[in-house]
Chains A and B, each alone.
Chain A
Amino acid sequence: MSEQPQTRGDFAVELRGITKTFPGVIANHNVNLTVRPGTIHAIVGENGAGKSTLMKTLYGMHQPDEGTIVVNGSSRTFRSPTDAIATGIGMVHQHFMLADNLTITENIILGNEPTTSRGRIDFTAAHDSIRRLMSTLGVDFDLDAPVSSLGVGQRQRVEILKVLYRGARILILDEPTAVLVPQEVTELFVTLKRLVAEGATVIFISHKLDEVLANCDEITVIRQGTTVAHTTPRETDRRGLAELMVGSDLPDPSGRETSVGDTVLLQVSGLDVAGTVAGSKLALDDVSLRVHAGEIVGIAGVEGNGQFELCEAILGLTPAVRGSVTLENRDISDAPTRERIGAGLSYIPFDRHREGLLLDAPLWENTYLGREDDPALSSRVFTRRRAIEADSRTIIERFGVRTPNEHVPAFALSGGNQQKLVVGREMASNPKVLLAAHPTRGVDVGAQAAIWDELRHARDNGLGVLLVSADLEELIGLSDTILVMFDGRITAELDPANATPELLGTYMTGEVQGARS
């Protein structure tokens, strides 16, 4: 182990030359990171740039192939998260790991229960130490309340308490603001600032540049698996940071030659969808929109503001309480999903693993999925294996899916290639309207450019696209119209020519509600 004595104690965390490869892709390559104690240190990068892989390395969830991890001046090897926790590193995952039916106290002490001399759980001691932590954080919970009664922001606070309770002084937060509404984001940073004031160190993973610039002390940028810059909010601005994140070969989502057609392909009128819990407010509240031939309508919004329900309701996967969906002058409001797909709807789902792919099945089965009623691929009863495989090869070829052949299982492909396969499948049926939810989420820059090209090309040939995305540049660059969703409603309609991410941001947080033209 090469230890440089002059750095001893200067940094809370120091990563030197970390490389971690997964089959077929390099997730991290020669990553160098130095985090000063008592700071909020942001790690920014695009989706798929390798931020999470790096943090998993630091948290001991997997071991690096090369490189050194130095914590508080001494070099460490983490065989598991247990080792990392013992060193004072804690992680708050993007998806909370709380047991809903247990109380806040029980969740916090789970796995680390203080015991009385008689071997029982010492709840008094637990309450005392949790109260102390709460006053440090500046929060106040009824410790005996079940976690199920808490909101998202509060749950996140409980997760932080849980990590602190285990003695963490270095906290890793993996995209903590992705699930929060704006006020909660503000509260979270208040909490984090109190923490660092007490001497803790926070490593904050994000791709939201504004909150990073506003709240973090130092910033490290990751691009394509490696660290490319170390900077501070004083030295840079949003534009500079964005350039660092995507590099000079930034694929440009903008540019079109043709104009939007006159035909309305998809018309959604006054659509209401019930909330998940009976009696709660509507998940989709009086949503109306139109998609013309050759038009890309972008939907902007913080995740969880009704975008998912909108797509599900258009497809007929979730019943609408009220309102209608018309596809090319045909009212499909009561048609089953299969019929809607047959009539020319296509869907790139939000999460390709959960809704888009059969990971264990070969690619030819994956490209067949959802297209069983295509007479070229099946007879009335039987599948046409040869035709399906040939069709699969065509999709693989046309969309540049990197695979040896159509027989390998889908899990063997990288994320970008999996997504290209899904996009290819959805385009292969020559749809009239495509619902594209985060079509380039978690894919590499090359695949992103390829997918954008395909979307543009199809649009120029008259396809109508409803594009849901969290990537504001993508929305502004591709869309002909941008609608903003907030709290289940469409709150603004913008012309992308005048839209900036900042402007979109203000609408997305619900602070401003624009008039619809």
Chain B
Amino acid sequence: MNRQKLQRMLVTSASSLIAIIVALAICAVILLITGKDPVKAFSTLFGAAGETKVLQGMLNRATPLMISAAAVAIGFKMNLFNIGVEGQMRVALLSTAVIGGAVNLPAPLHIAFCFVVAMATGAIWAGIAGWLKVKRNVNEVISTIMLNFIALSAVAWSFDTFFRANKEGESTSVLVKTKDLPTTAWFPDIVDRRLNGMLIIAILILILFWVLVWKTKFGFQLRASGANSGAARATGVDPKRMVLVSMLISGAIAGLVGMRALMGDVHAYQNNLAEQQGFNGIAVALLGRNHPAGIFFSALLFGFLGEASGRLQLEDIPKEIVTIMTGIIVLAVVIINEAVKRWDDRRIQRRAAAMVDEKLANEKKVEAAS
């Protein structure tokens, strides 16, 4: 690894860390104002880090976050803001529960089949936004938000009307579900009932994401289009095709976000299944700077905060403080990154100039000596 790259990485990580520290400080102030002891709150929160059960819970919660952040990040790389991961995930959840539950296949094949159904559904739903952008120049932020609303309502309605499988005589039950998936479609646990194997799939997705974006020709064209669509276009990269393809990939990944909950936990669709995990992925992608390694650690942090927040209630501290904290972290990241980038750009520019001057001076010296 060369020096410049190492320096950039250090600067990037440092600015994210600063953001987290700033967020903690602001939360401490909020706690003080509400009359709670921030020291006690944070020690309770981070004290939980030693417990195996909490760490397992953290990994479980981090799993869907990694996947949804990857879905958001691939859009970001192309300068597309896919806010629709939540909706794409929801559509995929119901279709997988219904279609996956309707077939009988041997275990590994059944799981693969469910993945394909989920990815296809997510891709189709995201593809609508991509198609609208390409054909009608509809801003993807607006279309994905609208598609979220449509997805949430349409899925809830069709679930309620066609797919709920109530047991006889308990039709008013709150926790209605679809028919259970056959056990061949259950995704196995690593630690029984505590840690699901979808974690491995999530990490695999991050690795594939890295390979695709940074190691392939397609990934280069994707990044080039995102960085300067005019320059990419001038070399013959079709910007419309890139928009559509990256939206489809993003949607396909989004389709997998809910699979830990569906195939690894509940094994049937219910209305609050995997709720918010699509939205939370946006925050994780922002904190992780759209890089797989950054996303991995950010997902762990958010997973940990979510898991440990329950402890706060034991100390009579509202666990919502954790939600506030994640919100502040994201805001701080956006603000601090921008400031750090400006500073770093100037630093690089100055340094490059100094190095060029040095090189020229050396060349002159050599010339003079010979």
For residue A49, CB closer than 8 A to chain B, the reply is: no
For residue B136, CB closer than 8 A to chain A, the reply is: no
Does B220 contact A408, Cβ atoms closer than 8 Å? Answer: no
Set of chain B residues within 8 Å of A360, measured between Cβ atoms:
227
CB distance from B354 to the nearest CB of A (A): 8
Interface string of B207-233 (1 = CB under 8 A from A): 000000001111011011001101111
Q: Which of A361, A370, A373 lies in contact with B234, CB distance below 8 A?
A: A370
CB distance from A441 to the nearest CB of B (A): 16
Set of chain A residues within 8 Å of B356, measured between Cβ atoms:
24, 402-404
Contacting residues of chain A (376-423) with chain B, CB-CB under 8 angstroms:
378, 381-383, 402-405, 407-409, 411-413
Set of chain A residues within 8 Å of B220, measured between Cβ atoms:
365, 368, 372, 383
Residue of A nearest to B231 (CB): A355
Query: In the docked arrangement, what's the CA distance between A404 and B2, Å?
Result: 13
For residue A356, CB closer than 8 A to chain B, the reply is: yes
CB distance from A277 to the nearest CB of B (A): 16
Q: Which of A365, A368, A373, A412 lies in contact with B352, CB distance below 8 A?
A: A412
Number of contacts between A and B (CB, 8 Å)? 107
Interface string of B106-128 (1 = CB under 8 A from A): 00000000000000000000000
Interface string of B316-358 (1 = CB under 8 A from A): 0000000000000000000000000000011011111101110
Set of chain A residues within 8 Å of B365, measured between Cβ atoms:
none
For residue B52, CB closer than 8 A to chain A, the reply is: no
Does A370 contact B236, Cβ atoms closer than 8 Å? Answer: yes
Does A412 contact B348, Cβ atoms closer than 8 Å? Answer: yes
CB distance from B348 to the nearest CB of A (A): 5
Query: In the docked arrangement, what's the CA distance between A459 and B349, Å?
Result: 35
Set of chain B residues within 8 Å of A341, measured between Cβ atoms:
235-236
Interface string of A346-376 (1 = CB under 8 A from B): 0101000011111111100100111011000
Does A407 contact B236, Cβ atoms closer than 8 Å? Answer: no
Query: In the docked arrangement, what's the CA distance between A360 and B216, Å?
Result: 19
Does A355 contact B227, Cβ atoms closer than 8 Å? Answer: no
Interface string of B1-28 (1 = CB under 8 A from A): 0101100000000000000000000000
Interface string of B150-173 (1 = CB under 8 A from A): 000000000000000000000000
Count contacts on B: residues with CB < 8 A to the other chain: 35
In the complex where A365-B220, A372-B221, A382-B216 touch, is A24 in contact with B352 (Cβ < 8 A)?
yes
Does B353 contact A358, Cβ atoms closer than 8 Å? Answer: no
Residue of A nearest to B232 (CB): A369
For residue A23, CB closer than 8 A to chain B, the reply is: yes
Q: Which of A358, A373, A378 lies in contact with B231, CB distance below 8 A?
A: A358
Residue of B nearest to A368 (CB): B220
Query: In the docked arrangement, what's the CA distance between A263 and B357, Å?
Result: 45
In the complex where A23-B346, A358-B224, A403-B356 touch, is A349 in contact with B234 (Cβ < 8 A)?
yes
Does B216 contact A381, Cβ atoms closer than 8 Å? Answer: yes
Set of chain B residues within 8 Å of A347, measured between Cβ atoms:
234
Does B224 contact A369, Cβ atoms closer than 8 Å? Answer: yes
Query: In the docked arrangement, what's the CA distance between A338 and B238, Å?
Result: 9
Does B230 contact A354, Cβ atoms closer than 8 Å? Answer: yes
Does A23 contact B349, Cβ atoms closer than 8 Å? Answer: yes
Residue of A nearest to B214 (CB): A383
Does B227 contact A358, Cβ atoms closer than 8 Å? Answer: yes
For residue A512, CB closer than 8 A to chain B, the reply is: no
Contacting residues of chain A (239-257) with chain B, CB-CB under 8 angstroms:
none
For residue B240, CB closer than 8 A to chain A, the reply is: no
Residue of B nearest to A425 (CB): B235
Does A378 contact B348, Cβ atoms closer than 8 Å? Answer: no
Set of chain A residues within 8 Å of B216, measured between Cβ atoms:
381-383
For residue B359, CB closer than 8 A to chain A, the reply is: yes
For residue A317, CB closer than 8 A to chain B, the reply is: yes
Query: In the docked arrangement, what's the CA distance between A24 and B357, Å?
Result: 8
CB distance from B139 to the nearest CB of A (A): 18
CB distance from A33 to the nearest CB of B (A): 27
Q: Binding site of B, secondary structure by majority: helix, strand, loop or mixed?
A: helix
Does B217 contact A381, Cβ atoms closer than 8 Å? Answer: yes
Does A317 contact B233, Cβ atoms closer than 8 Å? Answer: yes
Set of chain A residues within 8 Å of B236, measured between Cβ atoms:
315-317, 336-338, 340-341, 370
Set of chain A residues within 8 Å of B235, measured between Cβ atoms:
337-338, 341, 369-370
Residue of B nearest to A417 (CB): B356
Residue of A nearest to B345 (CB): A411
CB distance from A334 to the nearest CB of B (A): 14
Set of chain B residues within 8 Å of A355, measured between Cβ atoms:
228, 230-231, 233-234
Does B348 contact A317, Cβ atoms closer than 8 Å? Answer: no
Q: Which of B228, B230, B353 lies in contact with A23, CB distance below 8 A?
A: B353
Set of chain B residues within 8 Å of A409, measured between Cβ atoms:
345, 348
| Centre residue among A25, A316, A403 by max chain B CB count within 10 A | A403
CB distance from A483 to the nearest CB of B (A): 23
Set of chain A residues within 8 Å of B349, measured between Cβ atoms:
23-24, 411-412
Query: In the docked arrangement, what's the CA distance between A407 and B6, Å?
Result: 11
Set of chain A residues within 8 Å of B227, measured between Cβ atoms:
358-361
Query: In the docked arrangement, what's the CA distance between A316 and B233, Å?
Result: 11
CB distance from A475 to the nearest CB of B (A): 23
CB distance from B346 to the nearest CB of A (A): 7
Does A23 contact B350, Cβ atoms closer than 8 Å? Answer: yes
Contacting residues of chain B (303-321) with chain A, CB-CB under 8 angstroms:
none
| Centre residue among A341, A357, A408 by max chain B CB count within 10 A | A408
| Centre residue among B2, B345, B351, B353 by max chain A CB count within 10 A | B353
| Centre residue among B228, B237, B359 by max chain A CB count within 10 A | B228
Q: Which of B4, B217, B352, B353 lies in contact with A372, CB distance below 8 A?
A: B217
Residue of A nearest to B357 (CB): A24
Contacting residues of chain A (64-116) with chain B, CB-CB under 8 angstroms:
none
Query: In the docked arrangement, what's the CA distance between A494 and B345, Å?
Result: 47
Set of chain A residues within 8 Å of B2, measured between Cβ atoms:
405, 407
Does B215 contact A407, Cβ atoms closer than 8 Å? Answer: no
Query: In the docked arrangement, what's the CA distance between A373 and B353, Å?
Result: 33
| Centre residue among A341, A358, A378 by max chain B CB count within 10 A | A358
In the complex where A337-B236, A412-B353 touch, is A354 in contact with B231 (Cβ < 8 A)?
yes
CB distance from A367 to the nearest CB of B (A): 12
Set of chain A residues within 8 Å of B345, measured between Cβ atoms:
409, 411
Query: In the docked arrangement, what's the CA distance between A362 and B352, Å?
Result: 12
Interface string of B269-311 (1 = CB under 8 A from A): 0000000000000000000000000000000000000000000
Residue of A nearest to B355 (CB): A404
Does B5 contact A407, Cβ atoms closer than 8 Å? Answer: yes
CB distance from A323 to the nearest CB of B (A): 20
Set of chain A residues within 8 Å of B5, measured between Cβ atoms:
407
Set of chain B residues within 8 Å of A407, measured between Cβ atoms:
2, 4-5
Query: In the docked arrangement, what's the CA distance between A3 and B231, Å?
Result: 50
Residue of A nearest to B227 (CB): A358
CB distance from A254 to the nearest CB of B (A): 29
CB distance from A63 to the nearest CB of B (A): 16
Query: In the docked arrangement, what's the CA distance between A381 and B345, Å?
Result: 32
Set of chain A residues within 8 Å of B359, measured between Cβ atoms:
402, 404
CB distance from A390 to the nearest CB of B (A): 14
Query: In the docked arrangement, what's the CA distance between A432 and B340, Å?
Result: 45
Query: In the docked arrangement, what's the CA distance between A49 and B221, Å?
Result: 35
Query: In the docked arrangement, what's the CA distance between A341 and B233, Å?
Result: 12
Query: In the docked arrangement, what's the CA distance between A359 and B2, Å?
Result: 19
Query: In the docked arrangement, what's the CA distance between A358 and B228, Å?
Result: 6
Closest 5 CB pairs of A and B: A24-B353, A370-B235, A337-B236, A404-B355, A412-B352
Q: A361-B223, A402-B360 are in contact. List 10 more A-B contacts (CB 8 A).
A: A315-B234, A361-B227, A369-B232, A369-B235, A372-B220, A382-B217, A383-B215, A383-B220, A403-B352, A404-B356
B residues bordering A, Cβ < 8 Å? Answer: 2, 4-5, 215-218, 220-221, 223-224, 227-228, 230-238, 345-346, 348-353, 355-357, 359-360
What are 10 residue pairs bridging A and B, where the CB atoms are less than 8 Å apart in the complex?
A23-B349, A337-B236, A341-B236, A349-B231, A361-B223, A368-B220, A369-B224, A370-B234, A402-B360, A408-B348
